[in-house]
Amino acid sequence: GQQLNQSPQSMFIQEGEDVSMNCTSSSIFNTWLWYKQDPGEGPVLLIALYKAGELTSNGRLTAQFGITRKDSFLNISASIPSDVGIYFCAGQAPNSGYALNFGKGTSLLVTP
Amino acid sequence: NAGVTQTPKFQVLKTGQSMTLQCAQDMNHNSMYWYRQDPGMGLRLIYYSASEGTTDKGEVPNGYNVSRLNKREFSLRLESAAPSQTSVYFCASSAGSGNTIYFGEGSWLTVV
């Protein structure tokens, strides 16, 4: 499976700051997903994107499916301590069947 | 509100021992998956089952076997565990290809 390039690898921010992370791929995807993983837990879906150019919000989270279909970003506004965790992007390529390609994750730390 | 349930949560094995990780979903999903998560590697697909009665290899299938017992259950077997199989294993399910994948809480496996 193709690895996605996810950046930054880690972020250390203060409560109230906005956060932005992104994923890029050398090939196109049909679907982009953003997951959050808390310590000792499985990834939990935050936002799913199914169409190029699509911009979707979920509370303080906003994600976009890039026009080129090769990238996606996730923004978190006004971060709070419970935003701490690892954020993963995942994409599904055309004709990939059922496989999801995952980024290596962005570790977010938020200080009060 | 169980979703995807996997057992055991923690397991320590000696090299060469065998064991089976169990997974069940109550969302009536057609497709089920087994991923492994290693530090710095993101999530990698081991095997998947697109529908009841079918199984296919993912990115890292060597050393593993799977069984789709029925629509609800999908097990992962390590016939002869090796230290390289020390990892966190996640079971997941989805309605089908292109649909959002939902994860279990993970099984921490250590092979000594």
Q: Spell out the per-residue pLDDT of chain B, length 112, in tens.
A: 679 999 999 999 999 999 999 999 999 999 999 999 998 778 999 999 989 999 999 989 999 999 999 999 999 999 999 999 999 999 999 987 777 889 999 999 999 9
B94: three-class secondary structure by DSSP:
strand
pLDDT band at A2 (very low <50, low <70, confident <90, very high): low
> Which pLDDT does position B42 carry in this prediction?
82
> Which pLDDT does position B97 carry in this prediction?
72
Of the two residues A4 and B36, the one the predictor is more confident about is B36
Per-residue model confidence as pLDDT tens digits over A18-51 = 999 999 998 899 899 999 999 888 999 999 999 9
pLDDT band at A81 (very low <50, low <70, confident <90, very high): very high
> Which pLDDT does position A92 carry in this prediction?
86
Q: What are phi and psi of A83, to 5 degrees?
A: -75, -10
> What would the mean pLDDT of A81-95 be, rounded to a whole number?
90
Closest-CA distance of chain B to residue A93, Å: 9
- How many Cβ atoms are within 10 Å of B16's Cβ, its own excluded? 10
pLDDT band at A97 (very low <50, low <70, confident <90, very high): low
Which chain A residue shows the shortest CA-CA distance from B97? A98
Residues of B in contact with A1 (CB under 8 A): 44-45, 58-59
Give the per-residue SS3 of chain A: CCCCEEECCEEEEECCCCEEEEEECCCCCCEEEEEEECCCCCCEEEEEECCCCCEEEECCEEEEECCCCCEEEEEECCCCHHHCEEEEEEEECCCCCCCCEECCCEEEEEEC
B66 contacts chain A (CB < 8 A):
no
> What would the mean pLDDT of A59-76 be, rounded to a whole number?
96
Distance CA B41, CA A105 (A): 9
- With CB atoms and an 8 Å threshold, state whether A100 touches B105: no
> Which pLDDT does position A1 carry in this prediction?
55
Of the two residues A4 and B19, the one the predictor is more confident about is B19
Residues of B in contact with A92 (CB under 8 A): 97-98
Distance CA B2, CA B10 (A): 19
Which chain B residue shows the shortest CA-CA distance from A88? B42
> Which pLDDT does position A99 carry in this prediction?
73
A1 vs B56, B59, B90: nearest CB: B59
Could you tell me which residues of chain A have a Cβ less than 8 Å from any Cβ in chain B? Answer: 1, 3, 30-31, 33, 35, 40-45, 48, 50, 88, 90, 92, 97-100, 102-105
